[in-house]
């Protein structure tokens, strides 16, 4: 009895698809020629093994509060990355918060230097609301009248000083939960 040719054709088709997918993942866009056969990206996904420009810095969001009598607190971090645990290889929801903050701060860093329109951008409002919600959950925020936040870009272990990208004006904290 003779074996039908379709299993061999299916295997060859799958091997070709896998080869084309791997081939098109190369960081150099010269290898993207095979993508012209799949402009929708449904058959040949665009997963890059390496980022074209990997991030070489982190963003930190710090805030300070202002009481009704005018006293300012020290700068404090609005978010800390949790110490890594083994379970984080499967589930680490705090990294989504950090990734979101990274994207928001990247958007703020992309605003032109005069920054006059920055308080009207969605990135500014999201960051302001993030810090406001953080203060709302803080037990010591009962006497807070306002807050200010700063976005700091820092490379961590690499030599260099932190860059202060943006310092917000003081935001009114009175009636915060009614505003959102």
For the segment 109-118, what is each residue's pLDDT rounded down to a tens digit? Answer: 887 767 677 8
Confidence of residue 135 (pLDDT cuts 50, 70, 90): confident
Model pLDDT, residue 1: 66
CA distances from 92 to 24, 50, 68, 131, 150 (A): 30, 22, 38, 21, 26
**In angstroms, rounded to a whole number, what is the distance separating the alpha carbons of residues 174 and 142?**
10
**In angstroms, rounded to a whole number, what is the distance separating the alpha carbons of residues 123 and 117?**
11
Model pLDDT, residue 177: 52
Residue 133: name the closest of 150, 147, 151 by CA.
147
Task: Note the pLDDT tens digit of each residue in 52-84.
Answer: 666 778 888 999 998 888 889 999 998 877 788
Report the sign of the C-alpha dihedral through residues 121, 122, 128, 131, in that order: negative
Model pLDDT, residue 150: 93
Model pLDDT, residue 111: 77
**In angstroms, rounded to a whole number, what is the distance separating the alpha carbons of residues 47 and 13?**
20
* pLDDT winner (highest mean) among 4-13, 87-96, 133-142: 4-13
Task: Note the pLDDT tens digit of each residue in 7-58.
Answer: 889 999 999 989 888 888 777 777 778 888 887 778 888 776 556 666 778 8
Rounded to the nearest integer, the mean pLDDT of the chain is: 82
- Least confident interval from 47-56, 130-139, 167-176: 47-56
pLDDT exceeds 60 at position 172: yes
Model pLDDT, residue 54: 67
Taking a C-beta distance cutoff of 8 angstroms, is the pair 146, 170 a contact? yes
Model pLDDT, residue 178: 45
Model pLDDT, residue 179: 52
Q: Output the pTM of the full model.
A: 0.66
């Amino acid at each position: 009895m003779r074996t039908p040719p379709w299993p061999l054709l299916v295997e060859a088709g799958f091997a070709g698809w896998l080869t084309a997918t791997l081939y098109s993942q190369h960081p150099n866009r010269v290898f993207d020629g095979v993508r012209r056969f799949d402009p929708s990206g449904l058959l040949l996904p665009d997963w890059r093994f390496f980022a074209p420009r990997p991030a070489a810095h982190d963003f930190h969001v710090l805030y300070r509060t202002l009481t009704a009598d005018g006293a300012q607190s020290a700068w404090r971090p609005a978010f800390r990355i949790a110490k890594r645990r083994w379970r984080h290889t499967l589930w680490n929801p705090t990294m989504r918060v950090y990734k979101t903050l990274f994207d928001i701060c990247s958007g703020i860093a992309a605003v032109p230097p005069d920054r006059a329109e920055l308080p009207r951008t969605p990135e500014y409002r999201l960051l302001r609301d993030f810090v406001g919600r953080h203060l709302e959950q803080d037990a010591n925020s009962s006497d807070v009248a306002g807050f200010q936040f700063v976005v700091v870009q820092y490379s961590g272990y690499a030599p260099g000083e932190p860059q202060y990208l943006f310092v917000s004006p003081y935001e009114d904290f009175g009636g915060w939960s009614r505003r959102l």
